[in-house]
């Protein structure tokens, strides 16, 4: 959690007095925040290359390179790093350009201290979401390593029959790669329409009933033209990639 690991923030603003004031207030309000400041986009890029930061907060109207141009440069090397545009130049055009460039959040500077509470919340939320995505990706990477070592066919398909997940054994059976199989359907690779129809029927039964199904024997004609008899179990699956229903199978 953020509270135990801390948050390193890079604050970029050509107004050094305002930058230091903002940094001090954020650090006072959020004890887990460590805030460093830079007074230009170029200096910010240098600091980013030399140090690890959890979040960037940047002004928009700066000499040499504005906040959107700075954001575009950051995204070239750090496509997922939380970036909050914190600017006195508030307009729909600026907000639209920031969104198009991949900004994480947007906040217009105002008078009073309430804005710092909002900014602190935006930083905390952006960093936590980023860390959750990193943890989820690490979990997926570990899962991928595990299932690719299995000799069994492991796969997940959505209600349209599209493969959301397939291991190396499944891809080998279809004579293709995992990357090619994921996003495709059985019909794209299988030679037997009868087999494809049976797979789809079993998948739909599991998805519609919400109950597992054990299939003692089903035929799969593999890429080498041989027919393999498989024992398959299919269960309902709730994928994070989509809101649709899906089925997870092992053969």
DSSP secondary structure of 198-236? HHHHHHHHHHHH-S-EEEEEEEEE-TTS-EEEEEEEEEE
Task: Express each pLDDT in 4-62 by its tens digit.
Answer: 579 999 999 999 999 999 999 999 989 999 999 999 999 999 999 999 999 999 999 99
Task: Express each pLDDT in 148-174 by its tens digit.
Answer: 999 999 999 999 999 999 999 999 999
Residue 158 vs residue 239, higher pLDDT: 158
- pLDDT > 80? residue 240: no
Percentage of the chain lying above the pLDDT 70 cut:
96
Q: Report, as an integer, the average pLDDT of 220-246.
A: 86
Predicted local distance difference test score (pLDDT) of residue 139: 82
Q: Which long-range contacts (CB under 8 A, 24 or more apart) does 19-24 make?
A: 22/57, 22/86, 22/116, 22/119
Predicted local distance difference test score (pLDDT) of residue 225: 87
CA atoms within 13 A on the CB side of 72: 9
Predicted local distance difference test score (pLDDT) of residue 82: 97
Query: How many CB atoms lie under 10 A from the CB of residue 149?
Result: 10
Task: Express each pLDDT in 168-217 by its tens digit.
Answer: 999 999 999 999 999 999 999 887 889 999 999 999 999 999 999 999 99
Predicted local distance difference test score (pLDDT) of residue 239: 76
- pLDDT > 50? residue 3: no
Where do we find the tokens 């037997």?
A: 192
Residues in the chain: 251
Give the residue among 28, 26, 23 at the shortest CA–CA distance from 11: 23
CB proximity list for 170: less than 8 A, separation 6 or greater:
153, 154, 155, 178, 181
Q: Which long-range contacts (CB under 8 A, 24 or more apart) does 169-174 make?
A: 172/223, 173/220, 173/222, 173/223, 173/228, 174/222, 174/223
Edge-to-edge, what's the strand order for the sheet holding 154-158? 163-166, 154-158, 246-250, 227-237, 213-221
- What percent of the residues of the chain are helix, what percent strand, and what percent coil, each to the nearest 5? 45, 25, 30
Predicted local distance difference test score (pLDDT) of residue 2: 47
Query: What does the radius of gyration of the chain's CA atoms come to, in whole angstroms?
Result: 25
- pLDDT > 70? residue 90: no
- pLDDT > 80? residue 105: yes
């Amino acid at each position: 959690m953020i509270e135990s690991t801390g948050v390193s923030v890079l604050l970029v603003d050509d107004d050094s007095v305002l930058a230091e004031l903002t940094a001090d207030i954020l650090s006072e309000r959020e004890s887990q925040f460590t805030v460093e400041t830079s007074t230009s986009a170029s200096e910010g890029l240098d600091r980013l290359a030399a140090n690890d930061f959890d979040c960037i907060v940047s002004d928009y109207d700066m000499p040499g390179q504005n906040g959107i141009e700075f954001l575009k440069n950051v995204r070239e090397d750090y496509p997922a790093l939380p970036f909050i545009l914190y600017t006195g130049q508030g307009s729909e055009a600026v907000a639209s350009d920031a969104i198009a460039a991949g900004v994480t959040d947007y906040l217009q500077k105002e008078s009073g201290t309430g804005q710092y509470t909002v900014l602190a919340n935006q930083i905390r939320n952006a960093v936590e979401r980023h860390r959750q995505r990193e943890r989820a990706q690490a979990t997926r990477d570990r899962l991928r390593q595990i299932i690719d070592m299995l000799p069994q066919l492991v796969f997940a398909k959505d209600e349209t029959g599209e493969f959301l997940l397939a291991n190396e054994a499944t891809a080998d059976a279809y004579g293709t790669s995992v990357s090619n199989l994921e996003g495709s359907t059985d019909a794209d690779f299988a030679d037997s329409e009868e087999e494809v129809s049976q797979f789809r029927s079993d998948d739909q039964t599991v998805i519609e009933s919400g109950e597992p199904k054990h299939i003692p024997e089903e035929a799969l004609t593999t890429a080498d033209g041989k027919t393999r008899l498989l024992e398959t179990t299919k269960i309902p699956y709730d994928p994070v990639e989509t809101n649709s229903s899906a089925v997870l199978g092992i053969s």
